[in-house]
């Protein structure tokens, strides 16, 4: 694929060098088009050496090849990172006073802008209006990250990490092989109240489920994400309908409502198997000398097993997750096989927890089993990569069903 990487004159320009490497390592041809100001931050030799391509900034620099038209026309993807407030303004106004803005005017492929600037500039009504104009024209404008800015200040305006920009950019040009499919994903961990301030919960962050929802949306599916206590920063961006829930009962109701018209349900949430038999209306008090009162638990419905036993829509593929640890009774896979047979879901994604992989913001490694407990796929890598492997496995189930019935 041919990628044009525009770089503008923000301090974060150096991060574009990492982004360039990511694109190159993924096998893409990259033409870097910096603005003059960007060259004051990172020089031309760096861009030429890392891209292996010539680097020009002006519309008249390579007049015999009419570069200012050719680059935009031949690109499969244009990414500008960092995009300064000035670049957003020039793009919104349709100016073509250097090679980058001329390329933006001639590009017919997806365009992603990754803004980076001080919070005041990002929030200024002029910038807000420019971003709205660009988005209205179909340009993808990432929201900047929040955190440390150039000086001692912090706030919204930081360039997102190169890996995030690369994932968002490549998602714009990927196969939309889930187009026309409706899917439901549950993520996070349920909380079962003990009293108004306390609950029984678990450590699930919802990152894997959010990645599964984001991957499905990027591949063209209409996605409902039922999010149990998932932090806002973890939730995927546009294109996903998020239904926030807290308890298992709420999660069950939301999943079943959305599943009634879904082609696939992926239960990535960590759902509490038990809940307190009764939640106290008032905060439970510590009575001196009395010791703790026992907590009586009752079993929650198994949402996954229910869906697997009685699907809510014809041909619906139901996927479960199993976070396992090995023990004396068997290794992770043996426990997974037993669970696959017991739950009856079409697919069970088994991952090992308690080591360096699993919960939290760490890479994941999974084995996907079918309902007989046979391995249909293995995947390791980022949560986004695991998410894609899960959807590939779901596509495999749909394909087999079509082959059998067709």
Token pair in block for residue 230 = 């998932």
Point out which span in 50-58, 137-145, 263-271, 361-369 binds ligand C5P (CB under 6 A).
Answer: 263-271
Residue choice 85, 165, 213, 271 for contact with ligand C5P (CB under 6 A): 271
Which of 277, 290 has the CB closer to ligand C5P? 277
Looking at the Cβ atoms of 67 and 302, the one nearer to ligand C5P is 302
SS (H, E, C) the chain: CEEEEEECCCCCHHHHHHHHHHHHHCCCEEEEEECHHHHHHCCHHHHHHHHCCCCCCCCCCCHHHCHHHHHHHHCCEEEEEEECHHHHHHHHHCCCCCHHHHHHHHCCCCEEEEECCCHHHHHCHHHHHHHHHHHHCCCEECCCEEEECCCCCEEEEECCCHHHHHHHHHHCCCCCCCCCCEEEEEEEECCEECCCCCEECCCCCCHHHHHHHHHHHHCCCEEEEEEECCCCCCCCCCCEEEEEECCHHHHHHHHHHHHCCCCEEEECCECCCEEECCCCCCCCCCCCCCCCCCCCEEECCCHHHHHHHCCCCCCCEEEEEEEECCECCECHHHHHHHHHHHHCCCEEEEEECCCCCCCCCCCEEEEEEECCCCEEEEEEECHHHHHHHHHHHHHHHHHHHHHHHC
Considering beta carbons, is residue 87 or 307 the nearer one to ligand C5P?
Answer: 307
34 binds ligand C5P (CB under 6 A): no
Name which position in 120, 273, 327, 374 contacts ligand C5P (CB under 6 A): 273
Q: How much of the chain is in helix, strand and coil states, percent to nearest 5?
A: 35, 25, 40
Closer to ligand C5P by Cβ: residue 33 or 319: 319
Q: Does residue 269 interact with ligand C5P by CB under 6 A?
A: yes
Asked if residue 320 binds ligand C5P (CB under 6 A), the reply is yes
Catalytic one of 202, 300, 351, 364: 202
Q: Is 369 in the site for ligand C5P (CB under 6 A)?
A: no
Does the annotation count 229 as an active-site position?
Answer: no
Instruction: Closer to ligand C5P by CB, 321 or 391: give it.
Output: 321
Query: Does the protein bind ligand C5P through residue 304 (CB under 6 A)?
Result: yes
Site stretch for ligand C5P (CB under 6 A), options 126-134, 138-146, 268-276, 375-383: 268-276
Q: Cβ of residue 301: shortest distance to ligand C5P, in angstroms?
A: 6
Which two structure tokens, joined as six digits, stand for 132? 């709205």
Q: Which of 8, 101, 208, 300 touches ligand C5P (CB under 6 A)?
A: 300
Told to check if 185 binds ligand C5P by CB under 6 A, we report no
Tell me which residues in 201-260 interact with ligand C5P (CB under 6 A). Answer: 248
Q: Residue from 302, 352, 370, 388 that binds ligand C5P (CB under 6 A)?
A: 302
**Listed ranges 61-69, 102-110, 299-307, 350-358: which one lies at the site for ligand C5P (CB under 6 A):** 299-307
Find the binder of ligand C5P among 23, 122, 199, 321 (CB under 6 A): 321
Residue 303 found at the interface with ligand C5P (CB under 6 A): yes
**Nearer to ligand C5P (CB atom), residue 122 or residue 321:** 321
Site residues, ligand C5P (CB under 6 A): 248, 267, 269, 271, 273, 300, 302-304, 320-322
Catalytic residues: 202
């Amino acid at each position: 694929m041919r990628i044009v990487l525009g770089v503008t004159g923000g301090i974060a320009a150096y991060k574009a060098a990492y982004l360039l490497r990511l694109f190159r390592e993924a096998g893409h041809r990259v033409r870097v088009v910096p603005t003059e100001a960007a060259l004051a931050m990172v020089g031309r030799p760096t861009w030429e050496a890392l891209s292996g391509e010539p680097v020009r900034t002006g519309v008249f620099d390579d007049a015999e090849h009419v570069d200012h038209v050719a680059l935009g026309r031949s690109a499969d993807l244009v990414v500008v990172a960092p995009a300064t407030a000035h670049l957003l303004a020039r793009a919104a106004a349709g100016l073509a006073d250097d090679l980058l803005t001329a390329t933006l005017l001639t590009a017919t492929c997806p365009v992603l802008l990754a803004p980076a600037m001080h919070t005041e500039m990002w929030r200024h009504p002029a910038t807000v209006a420019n971003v709205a104009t660009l988005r209205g024209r179909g340009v993808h404008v990432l929201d900047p990250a929040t955190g440390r800015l150039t000086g001692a200040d912090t706030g919204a305006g930081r360039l997102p990490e190169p890996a995030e920009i690369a994932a968002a950019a490549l998602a714009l040009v990927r196969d939309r092989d889930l187009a026309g499919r409706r899917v439901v994903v549950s993520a996070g961990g349920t909380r079962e109240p003990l009293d108004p301030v306390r609950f029984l919960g678990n450590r699930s962050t919802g990152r894997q489920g959010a990645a599964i929802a984001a991957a499905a949306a990027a591949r063209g599916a209409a996605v409902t994400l039922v999010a149990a206590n998932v932090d806002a920063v973890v939730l995927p961006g546009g294109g996903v309908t998020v239904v926030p829930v807290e308890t298992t009962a709420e999660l069950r109701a939301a999943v079943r409502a959305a599943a009634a018209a879904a082609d696939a349900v992926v239960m990535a949430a960590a759902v509490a198997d038990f809940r307190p038999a009764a939640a106290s209306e008032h905060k439970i008090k510590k009575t001196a000398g009395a010791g703790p009162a026992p907590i009586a638990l009752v079993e929650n419905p198994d949402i996954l097993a229910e869906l697997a036993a009685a699907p809510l829509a014809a041909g619906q593929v139901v996927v479960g997750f199993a976070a396992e640890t090995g023990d004396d009774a068997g290794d992770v896979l043996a426990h997974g096989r037993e669970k696959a047979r017991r739950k009856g879901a079409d697919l069970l994604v088994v991952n090992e927890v308690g080591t360096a992989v699993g919960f939290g913001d760490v890479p994941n490694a999974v084995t996907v089993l079918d309902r007989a407990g046979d391995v249909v796929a293995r995947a390791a890598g980022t949560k986004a990569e695991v998410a894609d492997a899960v959807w590939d496995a779901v596509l495999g189930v749909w394909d087999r069903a079509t082959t059998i019935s067709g």
